Amino acid sequence: MEMKGTPALHGYRMPAEWEPHSQCWMGWPERSDNWRDNALHAQSVFAKVATAISKFVPMTVCASAAQWENARSQLPENIRVIEMSMNDSWFRDTGPTIVVSNNTSGSGISVPKVAGIDWTFNSWGGVDDGCYQDWSLDLHVARKILGIERLPRFSHSMILEGGSIHVDGEGTCLTTEECLLNKNRNPHLTKGQIEDELKAYLGVTKVVWLPRGLYGDDDTNGHIDNMCCFAKPGVVLLSWTDDETDPQYERSAEAFSVLSNATDATGRKFQIIKLHVPGPLYMTDEEASGVIQVGEAKPRLPGTRLAASYVNFYIANGGIIVPQFGDQKWDDEAARVLSQAFPNHEVVKIEGAREIVLAGGNIHCITQQQPAILPSVLQSTTD
């Protein structure tokens, strides 16, 4: 069902990721010009991620007709596998942003509602700057998911990817100027106009802008979900390095300064938890040679610094699904910091997540949560 007006007008808001999920959605990687060795290694890691999440929340994986049987054979039976065409498998950015409403009807009875926002997608920058030249199938992913779930759909002409926004569920949105103000997204909109759209569609009242995202995150032009996220209202996790010679240091210090001088929608000062980045890590000759360079996708070159970040984790119902990059010191440190930040969640480490970052993202980028609505009586007991 196509909805008129904006989500906020109908009482919808984007919930925080730690609020209850009814399920999680993922795509299935296959394109050989982005995933090395015909996505053989990436598929194994995607299966690990999906399996881990499925222990906490129902899981749906979408695969192309050519890959459905392969995906089905690699995934446990408790995971639903459905056929869907796509250009690539970054469902955080091509899937819908799902919003919820706890509005009450005229009778005073709670009427739980869930709907989805279908943003416009342009492959992270269009024909000149995007990651691949044809994204015509990706344009329909959000609408297909909403159709499968029979959820109302708000369509929006603004170009926006899910990885470029984080919310606290209490009125605050985090994003980066590097991405949302990039001329390859919405050059006809001012910063104020973009902020107004975020408020109208996400149901937020305040947008906190960090100047830049993670160093080397050129594929997405600095998505927030590699740089900074909420751990709970008033508390953020920030990608960090203590190495002042690392180009990441300037970006992290800059973000720390902005956050230290900002408040959220309720007027709270931010508590900032530093989450050290791994590495630096670089693409090897062997890894680059496994990608078939055909000219349709952005080339993967040996020696490229990988945009690896532990902030790119997924919050499930009671679980934290965190990437591990083979950097033992920082892998262990990330798990420790996240265990402290989420004391009521089980931290699940995904070994081999380097395979995902080789293609430009990580666990948060390949997942899309479908929020659940709790009846108002239950809601009050969980607050």
Is CATH 3.75.10.10 correct for 7-371?
yes
Nearest to 218 by CA among 304, 282, 311: 304
DSSP string for 44-88: HHHHHHHHHHHTTS-EEEEE-TTTHHHHHHHS-TTSEEEE---SS
Average pLDDT over residues 37-58: 98
**What residue type is 197 in one-letter code?**
E
- Report the pLDDT value the prediction gives residue 107, as an integer from 0 to 100: 43
Catalytic residue among 24, 131, 173, 365: 365
Partners of 311 in the beta sheet?
Answer: none
**What letter does residue 316 receive in the DSSP assignment?**
E
Structure tokens at 26: 């993922």
∠ Cα 22 28 29 (to 5°): 145
Catalytic status, residue 365: yes
Is 379 a residue whose pLDDT tops 90?
no
- Report the pLDDT value the prediction gives residue 375, as an integer from 0 to 100: 58
Q: Reduced to 3 states, what is the DSSP secondary structure of residue 9? A: helix
- Report the pLDDT value the prediction gives residue 373, as an integer from 0 to 100: 82
* 154, 6 Cβ separation under 8 angstroms: yes
- Report the pLDDT value the prediction gives residue 105, as an integer from 0 to 100: 45
pLDDT tens digits along 352-376: 999 999 999 999 999 999 999 865 4
Q: Reduced to 3 states, what is the DSSP secondary structure of residue 222? A: coil
- In this prediction, residue 285 has a pLDDT band, given cuts at 50, 70 and 90, of very high
Partners of 248 in the beta sheet?
Answer: none
Is 153 a residue whose pLDDT tops 80?
yes
* 61, 86 Cβ separation under 8 angstroms: no
Average pLDDT over residues 305-317: 98
| Other residues' Cβ atoms within 10 Å of the Cβ of residue 373 | 19
Domain definitions of the chain by residue range: 7-371
- Report the pLDDT value the prediction gives residue 295, as an integer from 0 to 100: 82
| Other residues' Cβ atoms within 10 Å of the Cβ of residue 243 | 12
pLDDT tens digits along 124-149: 999 999 999 999 999 999 999 999 99
- Report the pLDDT value the prediction gives residue 378, as an integer from 0 to 100: 40
